[in-house]
A and B are shown apart, each in its own frame.
Chain A
């Protein structure tokens, strides 16, 4: 478990991070979401130790992070960084060797990772000659090549086409499934929604929402329900405490004043005829994001 506790960072008069606390649990993908300048990158750099915080702590399994422990992190910085004049595979081998792998083990890992990420044919190309999307894949490979114990990835999906996104999602999911804490930031809320188990929303340097994705959706769902029945659902309008938002034959979306009203509508519907579906509408990540950030 990677834990941030009351991490604060100030640049001049601007508070970039204000008592930021959250957990990244092992075996779970934690999505880190926030607008531009919200503090995502600053927080990630503090986790990696390339930036020092003014106060607060970062611990792994309860122990403060040492340089030694951080060597076992896989990190993808916000600003992409690889040697432009080095070959892709050579670069990965170099990084793996810096982490202590033998030349032959490093070679094997680099090859396998490049194949996995669909860069196998490009292994002998100079990094600067790759397309941006492929550079991005190489960057992801660079953060994975030493088989890290913790993954911290700043915007790993930006600039990738949908197929590449799927490839990367697959690779990262495997890491999480192997019991590694994975923290990734993204602007693409649809990807985060699809991918993450836990969610951390940051705005203005403060954590606005934090928890398992489903729990947050539950928490931020309004009292809005969706009913589909075989016949006409016009009667819903007449139920006390109900405000119909949208109505179309047997399909209706409505808000209720209390949980009891919602149950009353369901009982009524079942009594009137077959019910195709009845569900509480859950907000999308984008809706939650707008709500908590506003």
Chain B
């Protein structure tokens, strides 16, 4: 636009070029990030989340690594029977009587003594209970060939499923509610009228979604990095090697999944006029975040539920990585699910920006769904 006649007198520079859609969105995103990083509550809660992640990895490492060795007493004649056995803390004594005394005193769990009358040539002498664990260690078991060699320890699978569920839930809720609040704050303080006269409404929405997605992605990336470092330090690199790929997929799914939710949070947030009323329109979206969390807790071992979850856009960020971890998914499945998620996210952004545009200037009450969707 050309400035006319005398207006230059007050303008010491030519009228600046209108920023592009991307530039505008980026400015809005930058503000979102800056304001969030300035919030003490946010920084503290992020710190706590990080500590919880680090703590659970360290505790997991300690519990897993320090299985206490079973204390046993042997005499010179029976020492050969325990040779090469893992997990035994062997005390060698001179006589069978000394060994039995140690058992009675509780210094050892059992004594392993020579006995020619048994088939193995030894006898296990314990105090009042049969030491089952020790017997298993001493038993000879035939070798086993597993047809499904990749299957994971079910307890570990449960933990991993819950971890994905919790991280997705926590991040989506934190940044989802942030975006909804930020939208309502602008509406409530009427700053939106000034913003709308400066930038296109869509750039405003895009900037909010972008800014909060960057924050959410940053948090997830930090948690992932922390988990990898933690697992490496505590010597759980075996777990890391099976978790690596699912975690990377989780991050990819999370980014798209969050954009989808962010658009919904922004749209539903824009429908109310006061921060106190946010719940009245964002509840359905909150449900969409909570359902996959609960499903994965209750059905982590149900392949049918997980299979469905891994394709439904709202739960795919949790469902698909869990299936990948369990080794249940074919190589093309995450790609297909990702395409479905991306298409849904795109559709949601279009729908969300319509609701947002229709609701942003309707001050006073709560906008009805019908009014928000039609114009």
- Decide whether A and B assemble into one complex: yes
Question: A98 and B24 in contact (CB under 8 A), knowing A83-B191, A85-B35, A146-B198?
Answer: yes
Per-residue B-contact encoding for A136-150, CB less than 8 Å = 1, 0 else? 000000110011010
Contact between chains at B198 and A50 (CB < 8 Å): no
A94 interfacial contact with B, CB 8 Å: yes
Closest to B7 in A: A179
Closest to A78 in B: B190
**Chain A, interface SS category:** loop
Contact among A61, A82, A83 for B4, CB-based, below 8 A: A61
- A27 CA / B18 CA spacing, docked (Å): 25
Residues of A within 8 A of B19 (CB): 97-100
Contact between chains at A94 and B31 (CB < 8 Å): yes
- A95 CA / B195 CA spacing, docked (Å): 8
Per-residue B-contact encoding for A68-92, CB less than 8 Å = 1, 0 else? 1111110101011111111000000
B3 interfacial contact with A, CB 8 Å: yes
B119 interfacial contact with A, CB 8 Å: no
Residues of A within 8 A of B189 (CB): 80-84
Residues of B within 8 A of A292 (CB): none
Instruction: Tell me how many residues of A have a C-beta within 8 Å of chain B.
Output: 45
A220 interfacial contact with B, CB 8 Å: no
Contact between chains at B192 and A75 (CB < 8 Å): no
Instruction: Tell me how many residues of B have a C-beta within 8 Å of chain A.
Output: 36
Contact between chains at B193 and A75 (CB < 8 Å): yes
B163 interfacial contact with A, CB 8 Å: no
Residues of B within 8 A of A77 (CB): 190, 193-194
Q: Shortest CB–CB separation between residue B202 and chain A, in angstroms?
A: 11
- A83 CA / B16 CA spacing, docked (Å): 24
Q: Shortest CB–CB separation between residue B9 and chain A, in angstroms?
A: 4
Contact between chains at B16 and A101 (CB < 8 Å): yes
Question: A48 and B6 in contact (CB under 8 A), knowing A85-B35, A101-B16?
Answer: no
Residues of A within 8 A of B38 (CB): 85
Q: Shortest CB–CB separation between residue A293 and chain B, in angstroms?
A: 27
Within B174-207, which residues are at the interface with A (CB < 8 Å)? Answer: 185-186, 189-200
A286 interfacial contact with B, CB 8 Å: no
A230 interfacial contact with B, CB 8 Å: no
Contact among B4, B18, B192, B197 for A49, CB-based, below 8 A: B197
Contact between chains at B191 and A100 (CB < 8 Å): no
- A179 CA / B193 CA spacing, docked (Å): 25
- A80 CA / B190 CA spacing, docked (Å): 6
Question: A175 and B10 in contact (CB under 8 A), knowing A69-B1, A100-B19?
Answer: yes
Q: Shortest CB–CB separation between residue B6 and chain A, in angstroms?
A: 3
Contact between chains at B13 and A81 (CB < 8 Å): no
- Residue of A69, A83, A85, A86 most packed against chain B (CB within 10 A): A83
Contact between chains at A67 and B200 (CB < 8 Å): yes
Residues of B within 8 A of A100 (CB): 16-19
Contact between chains at A179 and B6 (CB < 8 Å): yes
Residues of B within 8 A of A67 (CB): 200
Residues of A within 8 A of B199 (CB): 98
A264 interfacial contact with B, CB 8 Å: no
Residues of B within 8 A of A183 (CB): none
Contact among A27, A49, A95, A147 for B11, CB-based, below 8 A: A147
Contact among B10, B13, B27 for A97, CB-based, below 8 A: B27
Q: Shortest CB–CB separation between residue A125 and chain B, in angstroms?
A: 15
- Residue of B6, B189, B199 most packed against chain A (CB within 10 A): B189
Q: Shortest CB–CB separation between residue A237 and chain B, in angstroms?
A: 54
- A72 CA / B11 CA spacing, docked (Å): 12
B361 interfacial contact with A, CB 8 Å: yes
- A281 CA / B190 CA spacing, docked (Å): 44
Contact among A48, A85, A149 for B7, CB-based, below 8 A: A149
Q: Shortest CB–CB separation between residue A149 and chain B, in angstroms?
A: 6
B15 interfacial contact with A, CB 8 Å: yes
Q: Shortest CB–CB separation between residue A29 and chain B, in angstroms?
A: 15
Q: Shortest CB–CB separation between residue A130 and chain B, in angstroms?
A: 14
Residues of A within 8 A of B241 (CB): none
Contact among A71, A82, A102, A105 for B197, CB-based, below 8 A: A71
Q: Shortest CB–CB separation between residue A111 and chain B, in angstroms?
A: 13
Residues of B within 8 A of A147 (CB): 10-11, 15
Q: List 26 A-B contacts (CB under 8 A).
A: A50-B193, A50-B196, A70-B197, A72-B15, A80-B189, A80-B190, A81-B186, A81-B191, A82-B189, A82-B191, A94-B31, A95-B194, A98-B195, A98-B199, A99-B16, A100-B17, A100-B18, A105-B13, A105-B16, A147-B10, A149-B1, A174-B10, A177-B9, A178-B6, A178-B9, A179-B5
The 4 closest A-B pairs by CB, nearest first: A179-B6, A81-B190, A100-B16, A81-B191
Seen from chain B, the residues whose Cβ lies within 8 Å of a Cβ on chain A are 1, 3-7, 9-11, 13, 15-19, 24, 27-28, 31, 35, 38, 185-186, 189-200, 361
Seen from chain A, the residues whose Cβ lies within 8 Å of a Cβ on chain B are 26-27, 45, 48-51, 61, 67-73, 75, 77, 79-86, 94-95, 97-102, 105, 142-143, 146-147, 149, 174-175, 177-180
- With contacts A72-B1, A98-B27, A142-B194 known, what are 5 further pairs, Cβ within 8 A? A51-B361, A71-B198, A77-B193, A81-B193, A83-B35
